[in-house]
Amino acid sequence: MNLLKIEQELKKRLDYPYQWKRRQNNDFDQQTKYIYRIQEFDELLKTIQRQHPHDPQKDYFNYALNRWYNFWSAKAIENLFCQSPNVQAIQNPYHKQKDFTINNIAFDHKTSVFPKAYAKPFSHAQENSTDLIQWLYQNQSQQGRKHLKNRLFIVLYDQYNQEHWKLKADIQWLQSIIQNYLKNFDQNQLKVFFFNSNQLTYSDIIFAVKS
């Protein structure tokens, strides 16, 4: 994967407002599954126009842009992890509960902005990451990727203009943050949960803060 090229393409999406207008759902997912095969933003725009010529409220337009942006940002970030010698990619790219292993511990990776619905300030989350992790497990990924297995969260926060979503396109900036985390990775520092009585879950948060 050409990470510089992906970053350039992702940043083209920043000129458009980030709005969903609806919750993610299986029907719209099926109608926009072309986002998985298109890396170039200009080609994406052409495909949306071709596939959804009658879209006066731009429902499909916004939905496709957001899914494309989040998918290719996630693929780039997974690639950043897998550049480290202690990280191995999961061979099945369609696995819904594992993206890679760190020191032989399997993780699903989830990059997200600091959630507005979280009822406590960002400073509290930084000091009490276990509380935010529990909230994320309970409230995120309610569709096909919902699970209670090991998950590594990257939480984005822009202190300057609060447009946290734009940080998903800043791949080179995220690279140094991820490399620093992996260089100091210690299994004993992971947060441990028993969401189910017989299932041990490892998790952690990487806070990516732009100031």
Torsions phi, psi of 88, nearest 5? -125, 130
Mean pLDDT, rounded, for 87-116: 90
- 52 pLDDT band, cuts 50/70/90, is very high
Closest CA to 182 of 84, 95, 113, 40: 84
Mean pLDDT, rounded, for 34-40: 97
Residue 196 pLDDT: 75
Residue 135 pLDDT: 94
- 139 pLDDT band, cuts 50/70/90, is confident
Mean pLDDT across the chain: 92
Say which residues have a Cβ less than 8 Å from residue 162's Cβ, sequence separation at least 6.
none
pLDDT above 90 (res 111): yes
The crossing angle, in degrees rounded to 10, of helices 3-12 and 41-51 is 50
Strand (E) or helix (H) holding 195: strand 191-196
Which residue do the tokens 């620093």 mark? 180
Mean pLDDT, rounded, for 85-101: 87
Q: Domain ranges for the chain, please list them.
A: 3-210
